[in-house]
Each structure stands twice: as C-alpha cells, then as structure tokens.
Structure 1
C-alpha cells in the first residue's frame, strides 16, 4: 500500500446505521456500474439495508467498524467468523468493506482492514477470507495488495437481483 492519511476507525453505534446503509447503497451502485456496463444496478431499499446494519450493530454479527474523516463516516467494515460451511472456528471473514468513492485510494480501506484484522485476531482467528465479484477489479487489487490470494476452486455464480455475477473467495493468514 502507499503513504496515506490516517483515518479514525471506531466501533459502529446504532446511530450510524442509516449512514452505513446510505454509504453501502451508493458504493454498491458505483462498483456495479463499472462491472455491469449497461445492466441496471440491483437496488436494495434503504430501509431494508438500514434494518440489516442496525441488527448487525446491535448483535455484533458481524462486528461493524466505521472510518471517519472528521465526523463524517467515509467507510465501514463488517467482519466475524467465516459463514462458509465446514470452515474451522479460527477462520474469520470480511463480510463487507466499503469506502465512499470520494475517499478511494486515500487509506480508508487500509484503516478498515487493519481494524478488522485486529478484531479477528482478538476473536482467536488465524486466517481470514473475503468473497468478491471477479469483475470488481478495484476490490480485487486492494485485497491482493493486502496479501489475500485467490482460491480458484471457489468460483461461483451468485444472483443479485436479476443479475448474475461471478464471485471468488480470497484468503490469507492474519499474522
């Protein structure tokens, strides 16, 4: 990674749920635009996304951390044990990591990744995985620079609304 500004990262609170949901919706649209060209971007109603993140924050499943630029949330990460069947309890997973596009390439993702790595290590995890759309070149590049390796045999097609995308799991040790 490169020299970047340091951003404050803290655990999310219930009051952050709406900002997280708005950021999630806008960054998903931005990412899908580059992956799907002329295909309409699947939309998740803000209320549904906000309810999901409120519940995640309340029950810490996944654990949610937010990155701040001054007092504004500019990114978030959700992480916990792996949801993949058959994985050991020492396998963690990045469930979601999103940064508002105005803050791409400024170190927000790295700050969030560092917080997730520390949180997963505190939970006793020794390895971590993340599922990514193969066509999301920005996310792939970020995770590969952070030491994740593609697990080629994991590739699968996932429906997102009326669109189908190819996803792949990436893994790395947490040490």
Structure 2
C-alpha cells in the first residue's frame, strides 16, 4: 500500500521554502515600516524642523523664514502631500507583505513590489539631476536606500516560497 507521504528531502525543502518566505516577508514588512518612518520624519521636519526635507537645512542659504510666505507655504504644502504618499505607500507595502506574502499570494507579492518600485522609480532620479540646492546625501537619501535594500533582499528571499505555493 503506497502512501503519498513526502520524503525527508521534500520535507527539508518545504521547511527551507517556509523559512525563506517567512524571513523574506518580514524583511519586506520592515522595509515598508521604514518607508512609513521616513515619511513621518519628512512630515515632522516640515512642522518642527527646518521646514525642508531630511538632509536639507537651507535653499541657497535661505531658511523658510527668509522665503516669501506664499512660497514657504507652498513648499510646506508639497512636503505634507509627499509625506502622506510616502507613508501611505509604506503602509500598503507593509500590509501586503505581512498579510499577503506570508500567505503566498502572488498578487500581494507583485503589488508590494510595484508600489515600492513606482514610488522609488519616480522620486529618486530627480536627486541625480544637477545640484539646484545643497543637501546631505546620507541623511537625505540614506534611510530610503537602506529600506530599499532590505526590501529587495526580502523580495528575493520570499520569491521561492511564493512561487512554490501549495
């Protein structure tokens, strides 16, 4: 009488998939939380910091107090909107990763990747085009690059577990 019990090698392979899936989805979730944290810092800097982004203390030597009030308010308005979208993208990435990727939902895995990639692909290249204003590259972009690296590692780790659902 034949049984359909998995072999020891198949069981070991399944454990490896589960471990990579769990660790990968955790890293993806942590990166999403990192995106939220970056957005919150961005928001806080607007109201109680320099009034500019993280890593930007002045624009050509001018603080927000030196700017024409309407321009300063407009910059603040854009910072709040940008922070909101960074935070909401981080929430989406973290939620999709924690609840969807761990369940091996390919659509959740792909959607988390798309959400992160679209935001980063649209926002980051602007930072490589000229030096219209001075900013500290490490404090301005370092946190988001770190979160992105963690996210990519999580994506790679989780892929075999998502791909081999069942």
TM-score, with length taken from structure 1: 0.27
Structure having the higher Rg: 2
Which one has the bigger helix percentage? 2
Q: Which has the higher contact order (CA 8 A, sep 6+)?
A: 2
Which one has the bigger strand percentage? 1
